[in-house]
Amino acid sequence: MRMQAAALACFALLTTSCATTPKVTYDADPSADFSRFRTYSWAYTAAPAGVNPLLTQRVKTAVESVLATRGYTQATSGEFAIGFTLGSRDRVEVSSLGTYGPYFRPWGGWGGYNQVDVRNITDGTLTIDIYDAASKAPVWHGTATQEVTSTTLSAEKVTAVVTAVLANFPPPAAAAK
């Protein structure tokens, strides 16, 4: 019985630890010349309707901070423009460890325990898009999806997710050309 409890605890810990790392993807226009980008501007300034304006400001601050550490500066009319979207989706996760722990039933026959776990999960998504300001064409797209447990995210968590998304901006030279 203790071994089963330990196995369940390890499974829960592994499942929880996987949920704390965002799944990050990106795509880039192979013909875009990212080496000429030095300044940026925002594609829009106001928070979209229905989105928490404080969370929007945290994302903007994190993007500005990450870009500043890479030598990019904000300008009224930058060489590239940045836009982002925030979203969430609910899903149901069902897991079963199957039948375990055979035992003899007092009324006869052998049985086992079967545990089914049903969880409602909310996945949050941050998408950052970068456009060439001169041509207004999209040149880079990055997305992070992660399980969220609260509608209020700290500045530290937002910065970590933004840093993960922008880790491949500009894309490696082989991917950009």
Query: In this predicted model, what pLDDT tens digit does every residue of 33-58 receive, in sequence order?
Result: 999 999 999 998 877 777 788 889 99
Please name each of the domains of the chain with its CATH number: 23-93+120-176 (3.30.160.670)
C-alpha angle with apex 144: 10 to 168, nearest 5 degrees?
115
Q: Is 13 exposed, middle or buried (0-12, 13-18, 19+ CB in 10 A)?
A: exposed
Mean pLDDT score of the chain: 80
The answer to whether the Cα torsion of 121, 146, 17, 161 is positive or negative is: negative
Give the pLDDT of residue 14. Answer: 34
Q: What is the pTM of this model?
A: 0.73
Question: Quick one: pLDDT band at residue 95, thresholds 50, 70, 90?
Answer: confident
Give the pLDDT of residue 103. Answer: 59
Task: Pick the most confident of 53-57, 102-106, 139-143.
Answer: 139-143
Cβ contact 83:44 at 8 Å? yes
| Cα dihedral value 6, 9, 10, 11, nearest 10 | 120
Give the pLDDT of residue 99. Answer: 61
Q: What stretches of the chain show up as alpha helix (H) in DSSP?
A: 2-19, 53-69, 155-165, 173-176
Give the pLDDT of residue 167. Answer: 94
Asked if residue 160 has pLDDT above 90, the reply is yes
Locate 176 and state its tokens: 């950009």
Task: Pick the most confident of 4-8, 83-87, 139-143.
Answer: 139-143
Locate 10 and state its tokens: 């390890």
More reliable by pLDDT, 12 or 62: 62
Mapped onto helix, strand or coil, the DSSP state of residue 15 is helix
H or E stretch at 119: strand 110-132
Mean pLDDT of all residues in 66-87:
94
pLDDT tens-digit series, residues 105-121: 666 665 566 678 888 88
Mean pLDDT of all residues in 64-86:
94
